[in-house]
Amino acid sequence: MVSYRSMEKVQRVLLYIVVIVLGFLFIFPFLWMALSSLKTSKEVLAIPIRFFPTVWNWQSYVNVFTMFPDFNFPRFILNSFIVTGTAVLLCLFFSATAGYGFAKYRFKGNNLLFTIVLATIMITFEAIIVPLYILVRQLGMNNTYWGLIIPESLTAFGVFMMRQFFYALPDDFLESARIDGANEYVIFARIGIPMAKTALLALVIFHAQWVWNLLLWPMILISNPNLRVLPQGIALFKGGYNTPYPEQLAVSVIACLPLVLLYIFLSKYFVQGITMTGLKG
């Protein structure tokens, strides 16, 4: 009879092998992208395929910032930060307030209104893009940051998530604060929000990655090159006849970095946050 200890050892080794292989498979495309950004144009398309560049062409990263006068990538990156940052904050605001309202108060139409809000998840963006553009233009918001930010800050999923969270939160805290004479807004801001911190952080990752990578809406709304966001920059980077592949891959790598960093920074809150929203049920 094999001892429990050594069986565990074998299991552990097998587990690590599986985990390493899976991990490698999953990040492989990203690695390939990063390596290819350091190749020359011809090498990227070469047959047979090569993984490692023969010459490490760091020039592509420099080119991204210097060679294309119409593609002001630092500006695009700044714009992406502005739009994503504000949209995420707005999203937190909408989700937290609405989630709190739906969860903590019993009023007529609560269920109905919540169902309506939830139903908006099913509205595909492509279907409303034309009426949305016309509307935004009528409001004078085309080619503005707010024209991008406001539609991109709306997600019913966030409302759903925060409602789940606040629903699971026991009412005792609120009760005692009410007895102490605090008004509802203060209770929300000083008690509800801090308790929801991890859930909100989970929502941040979820929404930030959607807004940061969004392409379709900016492409239609923004024609002023000073307001372009990064995915737009990458997509437009495809020339009419030549795609500068190394540079495009380089800027793609750059585009992925902020979110990767954000995730690394927030990852420990992510699992916690989902747990606390009772998302897992």
| Shortest distance (Å) from residue 58 CB to another protein | 19
Asked whether the CA dihedral 100, 103, 106, 110 is positive or negative, the reply is positive
For another protein, give the closer residue by CB, 59 or 243: 243
**DSSP label at residue 280:** T
Within 155-194, the residues that bind another protein by CB under 8 A are 156-157, 159, 164, 167, 171, 178, 184, 188
Residue with tokens 């090569």: 50
Cis peptide before 48 (omega within 30 of 0): yes
Among 7, 55, 62, 127, indicate the residue that binds another protein (CB under 8 A): 127
CB of 107 to another protein, least distance (A): 4
Residues of this chain, 53-82, that bind another protein according to CB under 8 A:
68-70, 82
Binding of residue 266 to another protein (CB under 8 A):
no
Question: Is the distance from CB of 174 to CB of 196 less than 8 angstroms?
Answer: no
CA–CA separation, 40 vs 244, rounded Å? 9
- The 10 Å CB-count burial string (b at 16+, else e) for 107-120 is eeeeeeebeebeee
Interface pick for another protein out of 60, 64, 73, 101 (rule CB under 8 A): 101
Q: Which of residues 12-51 bind another protein (CB under 8 A)?
A: 12, 15-16, 18-19, 22-24, 26-27, 29-30, 32-33, 36, 41-42, 44-49
Taking the least distance from each CB to another protein, the nearer of 61 and 270 is 270
* 52, 56, 93, 173: residue in contact with another protein (rule CB under 8 A): 93
What is the rounded CA–CA span in Å between residue 198 and residue 189? 15
